[in-house]
Chains A and B, each alone.
Chain A
């Protein structure tokens, strides 16, 4: 999708769209994918994120995102002290990865409920991001669209049921992908969609038989 406000924008706290704004978005995406505010985060930095991240405030930006801040939040430079107030503890270390984008972070985040999730994402330029791995599964989505991540069992007709819920709700699919671990195992289906998903449709999706979980990321500004 072309969004001219990704060219003239984002409105953001400097100094780098890739190392600061993109890093905030990666942190915020990890928070959304966890589905609750994180209380613990283990953050691996790879490539240029590891090399020049500190001077660009990449570390403070990632933590700001984990706290739910957006790229234009003036508290980004002080995110470490905000994290302390809000009870988020975190560690940074260099990450060793094979063939990853040079601006990559790997975040393992844990919520108060004990729920954990692991996200590998890259900042691909101009503040745009791409999620490359979710809990060890290779994925590919950007957060430019409203995004639904549905985990379900690999049974015939499951996709038809899910897409029926979306079409009945007047929701148009822009991109879709699915990955399964093995035949008859579990599947992660990712829908990038044009409209926001109302709560009623989200509940319907969660109630579909054989669905294990639904995560919804709503894009910024809408």
Chain B
């Protein structure tokens, strides 16, 4: 048993009247030959590491290039005045995505989800809920199984590496995982989880991977924000009953196809996109002189 399609998860969930997350949990138990408790403990360890990656943030840390750092703290200071357009939850989502993305660039400990470049998205949507007392740890763990199942299907059918499929494969996948997690957390059924993931992936389709000087810094940190906020809106749409007109497995296949057709310059080679702007090139030259 593996997780080869979202349809397969829907069918398993329906035939045994179990939630989406439990299908993923049982797949893990079978694949790794572990008990439910052992699997849960490993997921709890991942969650605690995610939580730690948020609370250990330091606003004065700077990346090797000096391009990244301090924006998470800047966003929090601004949010403290309660005048944001985003409101209490989404302003925290933004600040958290920035913080974790920055910590990653500064060689601190994070949880790749599905990659290090996209490590801010899942903690950004989940940690604020937990800290505000709007979700228990058990509910979060279940949501993380849902997220992992979506990520596993994308990894199997398409790809999750920027070098293979561009940023849509990293931030797009993380966003789909987060959208599904949020939908599952509020009692969305498997189909709604699928719609949320499909919408999140569709909204970021075609996004190129164009890191300045090849570093996981610009534009990667801020794209964690767009992945997170996109996930929140897609989860809300799915919970409202909005549906993706293209079935989720077809959207995933399509993302893989778009990735394969993406020019090499736009797949993590730092030869195109923002990396090839005059400023992007200047940063690269400066980094080379440093070395």
A126-B104 in contact (CB<8A): no
A87 to B246, CA, bound (A): 58
Extra A-B contacts (11), CB below 8 Å, given A4-B151, A125-B161:
A5-B46, A7-B152, A8-B113, A8-B122, A12-B109, A12-B116, A18-B115, A57-B107, A125-B160, A126-B115, A221-B42
Point out the residues of chain B lying under 8 angstroms from A20, CB to CB: 107, 116
| Chain B residues in 8 Å Cβ range of A9 | 46, 111-113
Identify 9 residue pairs between A and B in the complex whose beta-carbon atoms are under 8 Å apart, listed by A's number: A4-B149, A7-B148, A11-B110, A11-B111, A17-B116, A48-B214, A52-B215, A55-B215, A126-B115
For B112, give its contact among A10, A48, A51, A124 (CB under 8 Å).
A10
Given contacts A8-B147, A55-B287, contact A48 B42 (CB under 8 A): no
Considering the chains assembled together, what is the distance between the CA atoms of A56 and B65 in angstroms?
A: 10
Specify the chain B residue showing the minimal Cβ separation from A54: B291
A92 to chain B, nearest CB (A): 11
Query: B106 at interface (Cβ–Cβ under 8 A)?
Result: yes
What 0/1 pattern do residues 207 to 221 of B give for CB contact below 8 A with A?
000000111110000
Question: Which positions in B face A, CB cutoff 8 Å?
Answer: 2-3, 24, 27-28, 31-33, 42-43, 45-46, 49, 63-65, 103-117, 119, 122, 144-145, 147-149, 151-152, 155-156, 159-161, 163-164, 213-217, 268-270, 287, 291
- Which of A's residues lie within 8 Å of B, judged by CB? 1-5, 7-18, 20-21, 48, 51-52, 54-57, 72, 74, 76-77, 102-103, 124-127, 194, 221
- Interchain CB contact (< 8 A) of A56 among B112, B115, B159, B215: B215
- Which of the residues A14, A51, A124 comes within 8 Å of B107, measured between beta carbons? A14
Among B112, B152, B217, residue most surrounded by chain A Cβ atoms (within 10 Å): B112
Partner among B147, B160, B216 whose Cβ is within 8 Å of the Cβ of A126: B160
Q: How far is the CA of A221 from the CA of B49 in the complex (A)?
A: 15
Cβ contact of A17, chosen from B33, B112, B145, cutoff 8 A: B112
- Contact check, A13 vs B108: say whether CB atoms are below 8 A apart: yes
Chain A residues near B107 (CB, 8 Å)? Answer: 13-15, 20, 57, 76-77
Closest chain A residue to B68, Cβ basis = A15
Given contacts A1-B31, A3-B31, A51-B214, are A13 and B109 in contact (CB under 8 A)?
A: yes
Asked if A11 and B109 sit within 8 Å, CB to CB, the answer is yes
**CB-CB < 8 A to B105: which residues of A?**
14-15
Give Cα A17 to B114, complex, Å: 9
Q: Name B151's contact: one of A7, A16, A194 (CB within 8 Å).
A: A7
> How far apart are A3's CB and chain B's nearest CB, in angstroms?
7
Interface contact B160-A48, CB-CB below 8 Å: no
Chain B nearest CB: distance from A22 CB in Å? 10
Chain B residue nearest in CB terms to A71: B112
Beyond A2-B3, A14-B108, A15-B217, whether A52 also contacts B270 by CB under 8 A is yes
Q: Is the CB of A14 within 8 A of B151?
A: no
* Contact pick for A55, options B27, B65, B110, B117, CB 8 Å: B65
A14 in contact with B152 (CB, 8 Å)? no
Which of A5, A16, A103 is most buried by chain B, counting CB atoms within 10 A of its CB?
Answer: A16
Q: Min CB distance, B136 to chain A, in Å?
A: 19
Distance to closest chain B CB from A41 (angstroms): 20
Q: Is the CB of B161 within 8 A of A126?
A: yes
